[in-house]
Amino acid sequence: MPLLGDTFPELRVQSTHGPMNIPGDLKGSWFVLFSHPADFTPVCTTEFVAFQHRFDEFSKIGCRLIGMSVDQVFSHIKWVEWIKDNLDVEITFPIVAANDSIANKLGMLHPGKGTNTVRAVFVGDPEGKVRLVLYYPQEIGRNMDEILRAVTALQISDREKVAIPADWPKNALLKDRVIIPPANNIEDAKKRKGQYDCYDWWFCHKSL
Active site residues: 44
Residue 195: CB atoms within 10 A of its CB come to 13
Rounded Cα gap, residues 138 and 131, in angstroms: 23
Q: Are 150 and 164 in contact (CB under 8 A)?
A: no
Rounded Cα gap, residues 144 and 53, in angstroms: 10
**Own/partner pairs for 193-196, CB < 8 Å, 24+ apart?**
none
Residue 182: CB atoms within 10 A of its CB come to 14
How far from chain centre, in Å, is Cα 66? Answer: 10
Instruction: Note the helical H segments in the chain.
Output: 42-53, 55-60, 73-87, 100-105, 144-160, 186-195
